[in-house]
Amino acid sequence: MADRIKKSYKFSKRFYDDALTQSKWWSRLYFKWLWGGVDDNRIADAVLGYIPDDFSGRLLDVPVGTAVFTAEKYGRLTQADITCVDYSRDMLEQAERRFREANISNIKTMQGDVGALPFNDGTFDIVLCMNGLHVFPDKYKAYDEILRTLKTGGKLLACFYIAGEKKTADWLAKTVMTRMSWFTPPFDTVDDVRRRLEPNYEILDFQVEGAMLYFRAKKK
């Protein structure tokens, strides 16, 4: 499974950014017809908008991907201590190139697994998890490690695919995205996510658009 995921993201690096940002005609059609008209750019803006530009704490971004949505924001977070983790070396190299080109110096990057994060309990004030929770093979470990490394009162900010909201998206996730190892089942529904969060978090915002969920939650 691990090798397949690495290979899948190595293959996709040539078109990954174009697909997510809907910068090509085919990617705009893809999101319109298969994902319920979701605008990943708008959702990314909403999630990153949860972070004030004067934030001065410690932030973990996992998975950072290529930083196509985050590099510009991180350029404004000059007082923050940012750590970016991704399982794919190919994704991470693209993110590192973006950070270098933007002259962002307050970021540490590392290849790693969200299921075994190399950080002490309560290390981070914010954990940002964009387009990750539908990819992680072990959702329980991912949620547990995110919770463990967050401080009490720290924020989890996330967006990802959820099942049961759009039939075409569910078909795509099961037949194409899973086969290519871009997504990893089982996939949570809206109710599944609430059940995961509510014992340990206060849910501050919770929004569903098409087959995508984004939220902000505070660790109790």
pLDDT in tens, the chain (220 residues): 545 544 444 444 555 555 565 555 455 665 655 677 778 889 999 999 999 999 999 999 999 999 999 999 999 999 999 999 999 898 899 999 999 999 999 999 999 999 999 999 999 999 999 999 999 999 999 999 999 999 999 999 999 999 999 998 899 889 987 887 788 999 999 999 999 999 999 999 999 998 999 999 999 9
Q: Which domains does the chain have, with CATH numbers?
A: 2-219 (3.40.50.150)
Cβ-contact 44, 159 below 8 angstroms: yes
Cβ-contact 31, 39 below 8 angstroms: yes
Residue 21's pLDDT is: 57
Residue 200's pLDDT is: 98
Residue 152's pLDDT is: 98
Residue 160's pLDDT is: 96
Residue 11's pLDDT is: 42
Neighbours of 99 (CB within 10 A): 22
Residue 115's pLDDT is: 95
Rounded Cα gap, residues 121 and 147, in angstroms? 9
Residue 32's pLDDT is: 58
Residue 180's pLDDT is: 75
Residue 24's pLDDT is: 56
Considering Cα of 170, then 39, then 202, then 63, what sign does the dihedral take? positive
Letter string b/e over residues 4-39, b meaning 16 or more CB atoms within 10 A of that residue's CB = ebbebbeebeeebbebbbbeeeebeeebeebbbebb
